[in-house]
Amino acid sequence: MLKRNKLLKRITITAGIVFAIVALIAFNRITSTRGKVILYAEANEDDFEISVSNSGELTAERSIEIKGPQMAQGRRNMGGGGHNNMRMMELKIQDIVPEGTMVKEGDYIAQMDRTQYDNTLKDEREKLQKEQETLEMKLLDSAVVLTNLRDDIKNQTYAVEEAAITLEQSKFEPPATIRKSQIDLDKQRRTLEQKIKAYSLRVAQSIADIEHQKLHVSMGTTTVGDLEDFLSQFTVKAPSNGMVIYKKERNSTKRKAGSNINPWDLTIATLPDLSSMLSRMYVNEIEIARVKKGQKVQIEVDAFPDKKFSGEIFTIANIGEQLPNSDTKMFEVLIRVDESDPALRPSMTTSNKIVISTFRDVISIPSECVNAGPDSIPFVYLKNHTRQIVVLGRSNEKHVIVEKGLKPGAQVYIIPPDEPEKFKLAGEELIPEIRQKVLSLNN
At 380, the pLDDT band (50, 70, 90 cuts) reads very high
Query: 414 with 398: CB under 8 angstroms?
Result: no
Indicate if the pLDDT at residue 177 is higher than 90: no
> For residue 73, what pLDDT band results from cuts at 50, 70 and 90?
low
The pLDDT value recorded for residue 189 is 92
Nearest residue to 244 via CA among 267, 268, 269: 269
Burial 75-89 (b: 16+ CB within 10 A, else e): beebeeeebeebebe
Q: What does the DSSP 8-state code read for residue 416?
A: -
Q: Please state the rounded mean pLDDT for residues 409-424.
A: 93
Run of H or E residues at 137: helix 115-169
Q: Does pLDDT of 156 surpass 50?
A: yes
Phi-psi region of 66 (alpha: psi -120 to 50; beta: other; left: phi over 0): beta
CB 239 within 8 A of CB 271: yes
Query: Which secondary structure element, helix H or strand E, spans residue 45, and what is its range?
Result: strand 44-60
Average pLDDT score over the chain: 85
Distance CA 270, CA 130 (A): 43
Determine the Cα–Cα distance for residues 125 and 82; give it in Å rounded to an integer.
12
Q: Please count the other Cβ atoms lying within 10 Å of the Cβ belonging to residue 381.
A: 22
CATH of domain 361-442: 2.40.420
Going by their DSSP bridges, the two strands 235-237 and 108-112 should be labelled as antiparallel
pLDDT tens digits for range 28-61 = 443 344 444 558 999 999 999 999 999 999 999 9
| pLDDT computed for residue 75 by the predictor | 53
Strand partners, 187: none
SS3 362: strand
- Nearest-angstrom CA–CA distance, 405 and 423: 16
Q: With beta carbons less than 8 A apart as the criterion, state whether 128 and 214 touch.
A: no
The size of the chain, in residues, is: 443
At the topology level, CATH places domain 53-62+273-358 in Elongation Factor Tu (Ef-tu); domain 3 (2.40.30)
Q: What is the pLDDT of residues 245-275, one digit of tens each?
A: 998 887 778 999 999 988 888 999 999 998 8
Mean pLDDT of the 410-430 span: 93
The pLDDT of residue 403: 95
Task: Extract the runs of DSSP E, i.e. beta strands, from 76-182.
Answer: 91-96, 102-103, 108-112
Per-residue three-class SS string for 50-104: EEEEEEEEEEECCEEEEECCCCCCCCCECCCCCCCCCECCCEEEEEECCCCCEEC
Q: What is the Cα–Cα distance from 279 to 250, expressed in whole angstroms? A: 17
Rounded CA-CA distance 93/258 in Å is: 5
Residue spans per domain, the chain: 53-62+273-358, 64-237, 361-442
> What dihedral do alpha carbons 254, 259, 264, 268 form, nearest 10°?
50
Is 143 or 13 the better-scoring residue by pLDDT? 143
d(CA 1, CA 11): 16
Which of 32-46, 75-89, 102-116, 313-327 comes out lowest in average pLDDT? 75-89
- pLDDT tens digits, one per residue of 305-317: 999 999 999 999 9
443 vs 424, higher pLDDT: 424
CA atoms within 13 A on the CB side of 367: 8
Distance CA 177, CA 189 (A): 19
For residue 405, the model assigns a pLDDT of 94
Does the structure show a pLDDT above 80 at 155?
yes
pLDDT for res 373: 84
Q: What integer pLDDT is reported at residue 442 of this predicted model? A: 73
| Closest of 386, 428, 384 to residue 404, by C-alpha | 428
Global pTM reads 0.59
Q: Please return the burial class of 388, using the count of CB atoms within 10 Å of its CB with bins 0-12, 13-18 and 19+.
A: buried
> CA 154: distance to chain centroid?
76
d(CA 399, CA 380): 14
- The string of pLDDT tens digits covering residues 206-228 is 899 999 999 999 999 999 998 99
**How does residue 440 score in pLDDT terms, banded at 50, 70 and 90?**
confident
